[in-house]
Structure 1
Amino acid sequence: MQFKDQLDFVSQHIKKNKLRVFMTILAATMGTAFLITLASVGFGIQDTLKSEILDNRLVTQVEVYSADLTKEKADKMKGMDHVKAVVLRQQVSAYQKTTLDKYTSTSELIVSNFGEEQKAGFTLEKGRLPQSEYEVVVGHDFAENLINEEEVEKFEAEQKDKDLSDTELDELELPHYEEELLEKKITYEMGSYETYESYKEPVKLTIVGVAKAPAKDFISDSKIYADASLISELEAIYDRHKPEASDETLFSMNLNIYADELQNVKEITTSLKEDGYSVYSISEELEQIDVFFLALKAGLIFVGTIAILISSIGIFNTMTMAVTERTREIGVMKALGAKPKLIQRLFLLESAWIGIIGTVIAVILSYAISILANYVLPLIVGAALGEEEFGELNVTFSIIPWQLVVIASAISISVAMISGWRPARKATQIDVIDALRQEL
């Protein structure tokens, strides 16, 4: 019997018991759809969490920590394989004061190499990068930290008379500098943390750029970014005023290395650890998350597989009844010379057909449920939590990758085949004479 004839044979017998076969397919569909939908929640939560971690952050960044970081060591790291940029930021460790007209702030000054900063992705909202030692870029929120103390005192006195709550007072925006910052001259002074007084050696700086806003709304950037060429002048001022016995340095160092590709981050971190540095990168955090969710998804697939095993009882019963009903037909086939392997194959094809149809319907149904869940659940949760709070979260409740479809399909069809194997085996063991004695 040719394979096409075998398929026709199976199709004819399935059509004779449409309702029973339909209910069996429905059970297989529900089991497989449950597996896919349940596991898709694990994929959705993992994707949401990883997106939250990676959102607007440089995934190729490696933070390097060491008590004896130097510019020479940072320069040496530029020669490492797969390193795109090495950004050594040196932050002033002293009392700092910045003045613009009648406005002052205590913004921190950071010196860096803007060539390396550009390679690492430092971007401006407006203006340009410094081209000389007295030109600087200020953070996006620098103007909000420039205040006139007299205006602030007057403003606070006015608010006290309005009988506002503590929450309302915290939400009020203090008066600050609101004019254009580009090309403005600022006076930068350092001083002692002990007395909070300036050394009275001001450095005149020109604002030529404003940095792009931080990725996270809750992060405020009011720093002043200057070129590394300013270091010598700042150190000279500091040396003239620090206590003679003091061995403290003016700058604290922060070193970040940027890989050319995400897959090369691990190689760089491993190399740095071997050299004795302490390092941190998002890739290490992602590895821990992936391990956790691998276990979670495996658990969800296991639970879903139990549902498929339960549905396999229906397939077993259907195939057992099919064998019982076709006893005489099996006897006729054997009398005509049909081999046991052919009879077994016919029943296995029937159980496989049930598994395949159930799986196809389950996949389509699962995608429909996933799309609906990702549309409806945010509305429900948003209504429960409040649209403003939930609007800030970008949550994906369900994702169905092709790998999940392949795994679920393989499990479903395999279970269907296994469920049909015992009845198919039983069909091959039917005695021809006893079978022919059966009444039609």
Structure 2
Amino acid sequence: MTFKDQFRFVRQNMKKNKMRLFMTILATAIGCTFLIVLASVGFGLHKTIIQDRMEDQLVTEIDIHGKTDEDANYQSITDADIKHFESIDKVNTVTRRQFVQQTPMFTIEDYNTHAETFVAHFPSEIKSGFKLSEGRLPEKDNEILVGHHFRENLAKESAREKDLYDEDGFLKEEYAYKGDILGKTIDMQVQKVENGKEITEVFPVKIVGIAEAPSREWMKDYTVFISPTVMKKIEDFTGNIGGSPEPLDDEQPSNNVTEKTYDYVKVYADNVQSITEINEQLQEEQYFTYSIVSEMKQINMLFAIMKIGLIFIGTIALLIASIGIYNTMTMAVTERAPDIGIMKAIGANPKTIKNIFLLESSYIGLLGALIGTVVAYGISYIVNFALPLVLENVFNEQMPEGIMLSYIPLSLTAISIAICLIVTIFSGWRPAERATRIDVLKAMRREV
């Protein structure tokens, strides 16, 4: 008997009890749907987190915080290190920044704010993806760039501090600066401590550019970029490298140190695939590094465990459905005993009889898997579409942008269908074995 004949025979027999067949396929489809939808939550959250990490340059950057020498002493990054980083194969650019070791106050008219201030190397910053939303890059020593949200932090100087902010910690609109800051001259105030007294120096600077908003909506950028010349004036005023206001002890560097060091260094690779190789090389050279790729490996491991767990739990539903398949196949063997007897009487191979019943259980499993997959995709779409509406209308909460609660990749579909087929085949295995052991004479007398 050919495979085509076996399949035709199976379909003819399955039509004899359509209701039982329908219920068995329905149970299998429900089990497969449950498996896919449950596992899709893990895949959806994983995709959301990975996508969030890969939205900007973070995925191709390596933070470098310093290095150790032969005596295991910490050393800051210098120009020699920067040149070495730039010479490494597959490195796109290297950004470096020097922080002002205090938080200067910036004043315009009757408004002021404190802001983190540093010197940046703009050619490498631009190459790494830094952009302006307004204005241009500084060209003169007294020109500066400010963060995208710098203006929002300018508060009225005459107001009491406890009245400035609302319950959420945001500056109240009536105390916020409402004018345009681009092209305006603003006073930068720095301090130093001398003989126990605070001394203030003011440096007028002009805002010529405003940085583009950070890629993530919740991030705020209040920083200020100054020129190396202004940084040198701050160091000369304070007498300390980096412009620290406090007197330094004998072990700390003063402003007469000639070698420039950097507080904030990032190496950008040409592509994601090069990150691991570059990071390993830098670590071998005793640099302290951090890359989002390392974090992503841990995230992937955690989600892999989570997805395996969810698939395992979902498989339990299919195992429950397999009880129905086992019952269906057992009843089929009993009802078709005369047919089996006739097949044996005319010389049918027991293996052929076994294959017929395994084919039937596989067919039931395949139909259930296909129906369950289609339903699972529909449920996944509905969940992703309806959940934001439910949160907004029922709980008065906004769904965080970019979150995907359910995601069904092709790999999950293939895994689920494979599990469904394996479970259904094993469910029909014992009834199929029983069919091969039926006695011909008893079968003809319907005494099975």
**Fold match (TM-score > 0.5):** yes
1:420 aligned to 425, 428, 435, which one?
A: 428
Change (3 A) 1:216 1:195: farther
C-alpha distance in structure 1 between counterparts of 2:248 and 2:444, whole Å: 114
* 2:104 paired with 1:96: yes
- Whole-angstrom CA distance in 2 between matches of 1:342 and 1:433: 19
Amino acid at match of 2:436: T
Bigger drift between 288-297 and 165-174 goes to 165-174
Distance 1:378 1:142 in 2: 32
* Residue-by-residue CA offset, 1:227-253 (whole Å, 9 max, x unaligned): 446555554444499869764456761
The alignment-based identity, stated in percent, is: 40
Paired residue secondary structure (1:214): coil
- Cα pair distance change 1:393/1:12, threshold 3 Å: same
**1:299 alignment partner AA:** G
Read off the aligned partner of 1:115 and give its amino acid letter: P
Equivalent of residue 330 in structure 2, options 320, 323, 327:
320
Q: Which moved more, 1:67-76 or 1:325-334?
A: 67-76
Which of the residues 197, 200, 205 maps onto 2:199? 197
Instruction: Report the CA distance between 1:221 and its aligned residue.
Output: 2.4
After superposition, the C-alpha distances for 1:177-215 in whole angstroms (9 at most, x for unaligned) are 433333333444533156442246x3x533221111233
Whether contact under 8 Å (1:57, 1:215) holds in the other structure is no
Mapped pair 1:361 → 2:371: yes
Which residue in the other structure is 2:124 paired with?
116
Amino acid at match of 2:304: L
Q: Is the 8 A contact 1:126 1:211 kept in 2?
A: yes
Tell me what 1:270 maps to: 280
| SS of residue in 2 equivalent to 1:215 | coil
Q: What TM-score, normalized to structure 2?
A: 0.85
Amino acid at match of 2:409: P
Map of 1:136 onto structure 2: 144
Cα offsets for 1:107-137 (capped at 9, x unmatched)? 3331111010011111111111223443321
Over 3 Å counting, the alpha-carbon distance change for 1:110 and 1:292 in structure 2 is same
After TM superposition, the structure 1 = structure 2 runs for residues 38-437 of structure 1, keeping only pairs within 5 Å, are 38-54=38-54, 58-66=58-66, 67-94=75-102, 96-100=104-108, 103-147=111-155, 149-150=157-158, 152=159, 167=167, 172-173=172-173, 175-193=175-193, 195-199=197-201, 202=203, 204-228=204-228, 231-239=231-239, 247-249=252-254, 253-387=263-397, 390-437=398-445
Q: C-alpha deviations, 1:298-328, integer Å up to 9, x for none?
A: 1111111121112111111111111111122
Q: 1:257 corresponds to which letter in structure 2?
A: V
TM-score w.r.t. the length of structure 1 is 0.87
Two-structure CA RMSD over aligned residues (Å) = 3.1
Any idea what the Cα deviations from partners look like across 1:39-73, whole Å, max 9, x if unmatched? 11111222334445555562222211124222221
Deviation for aligned residue 1:432? 2.5
Q: CA deviation at 1:174?
A: 5.4
Q: Secondary structure at the match of 2:290?
A: strand
* Separation (CA, whole Å) in 1 of partners of 2:399 and 2:120: 37
Q: Which amino acid aligns with 1:266?
A: T
Aligned length: 428
**Residues 1:356 and 1:86: Cα distance change in structure 2 (over 3 Å):** same
CA change 1:61–1:358 in 2 (3 A) is same
- Greater shift after overlay, 50-59 or 16-25? 50-59
Counterpart contact for 2:155–2:171, Cα < 8 Å: no
Instruction: Give 1:37 deviation, angstroms.
Output: 1.2
Contact map agreement 2:65 2:263 (CA 8 A) in 1: no
- Comparing 48-57 with 429-438, greater Cα deviation is found at 48-57
- Answer whether contact 1:114 1:227 (CA < 8 A) is retained: no
CA distance in 2, matches of 1:244, 1:419: 78
Task: Give distance in 2, aligned partners of 1:417 and 1:401.
Answer: 25
Query: For residue 210 of structure 1, what is the amino acid of its counterpart?
Result: I
Work out the CA distance in 2 between the residues paired with 1:191 and 1:210.
25
Residue matched to 1:29 = 29
Q: Is the 8 A contact 1:71 1:88 kept in 2?
A: no
Opposite residue 360 of structure 1, the aligned amino acid is: L
In the alignment, the residues of structure 2 paired with residue 77 and residue 346 of structure 1 have an alpha-carbon distance, to the nearest angstrom, of 67
Measure the CA separation in 2 of the matches of 1:337 and 1:219.
78
- Can you give the 5+ residue segments of structure 1 that lack an aligned partner in the other structure? none
**Deviation sequence 1:315-358 (CA, Å, 0-9, x none):** 11111111111122112112222212211111111111101101
Asked if the contact 2:96/2:262 (under 8 Å) is kept, the reply is: no
Question: Contact (CA 8 Å) 1:309, 1:415: kept in 2 or not?
Answer: yes
1:341 aligned partner, one-letter code: K
Q: Distance in 2 between matches of 1:244 and 1:285?
A: 37
The amino acid across from 2:132 in the alignment is L
8 Å contact kept, 1:95–1:196:
no
**2:78–2:262: 8 Å Cα contact kept in structure 1?**
no
Give 3-state SS (helix, strand or coil) of 1:257's partner. strand
Contact 2:103 2:117 in 1 (8 A): no
Equivalent position SS for 2:77: coil
Decide whether the 8 Å contact of 1:95 with 1:192 is kept in 2.
no
Deviation track 1:135-175 (CA, whole Å, cap 9, x = no partner) reads: 3211123334445534x36xx89x79xxxx97399652353
Q: Say whether the 8 Å CA contact 1:184–1:207 is kept in structure 2.
A: yes
Q: Letter of the aligned partner of 2:353 in structure 1? A: I
8 Å contact kept, 1:272–1:279: yes
Q: Distance in 1 between matches of 2:285 and 2:369?
A: 53
Secondary structure of residue in 2 paired with 1:137:
strand
Which letter maps to 1:197?
A: I
